[in-house]
Chain A
Amino acid sequence: MLIVSAIVSGLSLGAMYGLIALGYHVTYAVSNTVNFSQGSSVMLGAVLCYTLWITFGWPVTLAVVVALFLCALFGLVVERFLVRPFAARGSNAWLMATVAGGIILDNAVMFSFGKEPRSLPSVLAQKPVSLFGAGVYPLQLAIPVVGIAVALGLHVLLNRTRAGKRLLAVVQNPSAARLMGIDVKRAIALSFAASAVLAGLAGMLIAPLLSVSSDMGLMFGIKAFAVAILGGIGSASGIMLAGFLYGLAEALITALLGSSYTQILVFSAVIAALALMPNGLFGRAAVKKV
């Protein structure tokens, strides 16, 4: 019962980490940059969903759609103002700039949304169901399913649609993609929008299990980054797998050894894994050229 509960929690957390980490993957693959305010996008998704649905009383589907649209907009703004100006001149100051962007968004939300955590209701997180004798919320079971579905959906979108294949072309060979008439700059902007949408979606999904607040995103952002790195930032399937591994490791360590050592053990494992496999657990090495 204890283990079942931990595994279910680990899987739902892992799915979240995976989704957010996919966001890092998408932008890195297309542009070799990552949005370090990804955690803020997680928060933004949850906060907007709450505000539109609960505060403004919009229908829930409309609220979700509009919230995700606004997340995409945030991603575009990040790319245009916090990444492109620096990446264009070959500087890596986008790292600091996106961090600054995250600080600004978190604090701006704190003033507009309020300082106390709110609860995003969900019919799936009210009555527990029994699974092998352990009580779990249906949402906890639904999240990994949704997570995998979204990851698969993304995979299908990329590999089965024309627009997706164009994006893959940019990932694999940007200059050849330009020769196909593909606007690489737009593709990069798009990838940041997609990245923020993935994070926003993750925020909405996890919020009913936790709560909605202006600072909910930070740790998610950092852990998801660890997941992206562990999975090998260039490998989408590796990242989802790493997400589940990370979530399970966290939950099981907490369940079996107590929560005191969770972070120490998990982060040590991250360092050890990278020391042994510098390209992540599922990443591939590139041939160096002189």
Chain B
Amino acid sequence: MVRSLLKPRFALSRRAAVLGLGAAVLLGGAPAFAQETIKVGLVAALSGQSAKSGEAITRGLEVAIDEINAAGGVLGKKVELIRRDDESNPAKGVVAARELVQKEKVAAFFGGIDTPVSLAIVPFANQAKVPFISVWAAGTGITRNGAAENYVFRVSAVDELVDEAMIDYAVKTYKTAKPGLMLINNPWGESNEKGLKAASAAKGLTLAGAEKFDNADVDMVPQLTRLKEAGADTLFLIANVQPAAQVVKSLDRMGWNVPVVSHWGPAGGRFTELGGPSAEKVHMVQTYTFSGNLSKKGQTVLAALKTKYPQVTTLADVTPAVGIANAYDAMHLLALAIAKAGTTEGPALRQAFYEIGSYEGLIKSYAKPFSPTNQDALSKDDYIFTHFKGAEIVPVN
């Protein structure tokens, strides 16, 4: 759908405009000329259903920024985070992105959990020539957007790759032959429906069917019954925690014990609390978890989180770890790029992303994470499969 989109058209003036009196009242004053800090932005859901995700990203970014600033900042300047709420509304997201870029003059900005919002921002970021780094939304088209000069990077999972990984995992673990799809009825579900169908076709699997449901549905028995009757032997689940919990409960009510392999949605909340004990049987894709044997880096970051945010006491408070970990690594990678570019000018910064050498991150050791042909820092091999154990997410075995 995304074709050779946008040639840059809007020449962005970087100088401060002389604001009229009326507009000054409206917009709250003119931006300053000299920047004492390097500003980075975040456009994410800070209110509403997905507010928790915005909070997780914020924490990951802030911990990284604290580390960077403690080490003297970048280019001799402190890094400052400016956050905007997108209310999970694409139009709001674009307005917020524009404000961050055009008014706040951020060097680069991060995106939140909602794929539609990020997709809406992508054309603008490319036009404005300001790097936009997705740290959660996994929609394939976000980074693979077809722009000649692509300013969109990602330190997160990619739906297409997740779908392949899930199929591989299911075939390997459960000898899956006829999977059924349980998809949330939104763009995320749509994008994964395509990916899962392609990936299962590639593996020569026939689908038992693809069923959809809505966020507020309380009863998935009809959909599951149809899949069961079609002979599904494994379920692939694409949904956030609340509807995912309803799927688990519906399975319980049906008394159907079937392997469930899930995208990372359920990790976004208290899945076992909402879905009951059977929720522990669901295996999910993650990029990171703070459970198990933590690396030194992991321990440091966890300690920093606990110090900075007193509300964080148990591991359950740092789920979903993906938001924190992706944001943390992305912020460090951005700092490296800025340092390499020696400037915050967009085009130079974009080039610098490709020149990042190696970075010992939280999720993995990055080596040349970005290239013009692959703007995704994480690959299929970086995903781990996990499941809930009580309130914690632990790797499978």
User: Do A260 and B185 touch across chains, with their CB atoms under 8 A apart?
Assistant: yes
Which of A77-85, A134-142, A233-241, A279-287 touches B? A134-142
Q: How far is the CA of A115 from the CA of B252 in the complex (A)?
A: 27
User: Do B216 and A118 touch across chains, with their CB atoms under 8 A apart?
Assistant: no
Q: Does B381 contact A (CB under 8 A)?
A: no
Q: Which of B223, B225, B270 has a CB less than 8 Å from the CB of A1?
A: B225
Q: Does A254 contact B (CB under 8 A)?
A: yes
Q: Which of B212, B221, B241 has a CB less than 8 Å from the CB of A6?
A: B221
Q: How far is the CA of A6 from the CA of B254 in the complex (A)?
A: 13
Given A5-B221, A13-B218, A259-B217, check contact A119 B255 (CB 8 Å): no
Q: Which of B213, B241, B253, B268 has a CB less than 8 Å from the CB of A135?
A: B253
Q: How far is the CA of A131 from the CA of B18 in the complex (A)?
A: 72
Q: Closest approach, in angstroms, between the C-beta of A112 and any C-beta of chain B?
A: 13
- Which residue of chain B has its CB nearest to the CB of A220? B216
User: Do B252 and A128 touch across chains, with their CB atoms under 8 A apart?
Assistant: yes
Q: How far is the CA of A47 from the CA of B268 in the complex (A)?
A: 20
* B: contact size bracket: 35 or more
Residues of B within 8 A of A118 (CB): 270, 273-274
Q: Closest approach, in angstroms, between the C-beta of A246 and any C-beta of chain B?
A: 14
Q: Which of B211, B218, B225, B270 has a CB less than 8 Å from the CB of A116?
A: B270
Most buried by B among A117, A126, A210: A117
Residues of A within 8 A of B55 (CB): 115
Given A211-B245, A215-B49, A251-B219, check contact A117 B270 (CB 8 Å): yes
Q: Once A and B bind, how many residue pairs between them come within 8 Å at the CB atom?
A: 90
User: Do B214 and A259 touch across chains, with their CB atoms under 8 A apart?
Assistant: yes
Q: How far is the CA of A215 from the CA of B51 in the complex (A)?
A: 11
Q: Closest approach, in angstroms, between the C-beta of A207 and any C-beta of chain B?
A: 11
Q: Does A184 contact B (CB under 8 A)?
A: no
- Which residue of chain B has its CB nearest to the CB of A107? B47
User: Do B225 and A2 touch across chains, with their CB atoms under 8 A apart?
Assistant: yes
Q: How far is the CA of A81 from the CA of B52 in the complex (A)?
A: 32
* A: contact size bracket: 35 or more
> 1/0 per residue A245-266: CB within 8 Å of B?
0000001001110111010000
Q: Does A219 contact B (CB under 8 A)?
A: yes
Residues of A within 8 A of B241 (CB): 116-117
Q: How far is the CA of A134 from the CA of B253 in the complex (A)?
A: 8
Residues of A within 8 A of B218 (CB): 9, 12-13, 209-210
Q: Does B292 contact A (CB under 8 A)?
A: no
> 1/0 per residue B41-57: CB within 8 Å of A?
00000011101100100
Q: How far is the CA of A143 from the CA of B225 in the complex (A)?
A: 24
Q: How far is the CA of A1 from the CA of B226 in the complex (A)?
A: 11
User: Do B242 and A2 touch across chains, with their CB atoms under 8 A apart?
Assistant: no
Residues of A within 8 A of B48 (CB): 215
User: Do B219 and A9 touch across chains, with their CB atoms under 8 A apart?
Assistant: yes
Q: Does A213 contact B (CB under 8 A)?
A: yes
In chain B, positions 213-272 with a C-beta closer than 8 Å to chain A are: 213-214, 216-219, 221-223, 225-226, 241-242, 245-246, 249, 252-255, 268-270
Q: Does A96 contact B (CB under 8 A)?
A: no
Q: Closest approach, in angstroms, between the C-beta of A135 and any C-beta of chain B?
A: 4
Q: Does B276 contact A (CB under 8 A)?
A: yes
Q: How far is the CA of A219 from the CA of B218 in the complex (A)?
A: 13
User: Do A5 and B222 touch across chains, with their CB atoms under 8 A apart?
Assistant: yes
Residues of A within 8 A of B276 (CB): 126
In chain A, positions 1-60 with a C-beta closer than 8 Å to chain B are: 1-2, 5-6, 8-9, 12-13
Identify 26 residue pairs between A and B in the complex whose beta-carbon atoms are under 8 Å apart, listed by A's number.
Answer: A1-B221, A5-B222, A5-B253, A9-B221, A12-B218, A13-B218, A116-B52, A116-B269, A116-B270, A119-B245, A119-B273, A126-B276, A128-B252, A135-B252, A136-B253, A137-B249, A210-B242, A210-B246, A211-B242, A213-B242, A215-B48, A251-B219, A256-B222, A259-B212, A259-B213, A260-B212
Q: Which residues of B contact A (CB under 8 A)?
A: 47-49, 51-52, 55, 185, 211-214, 216-219, 221-223, 225-226, 241-242, 245-246, 249, 252-255, 268-270, 273-274, 276
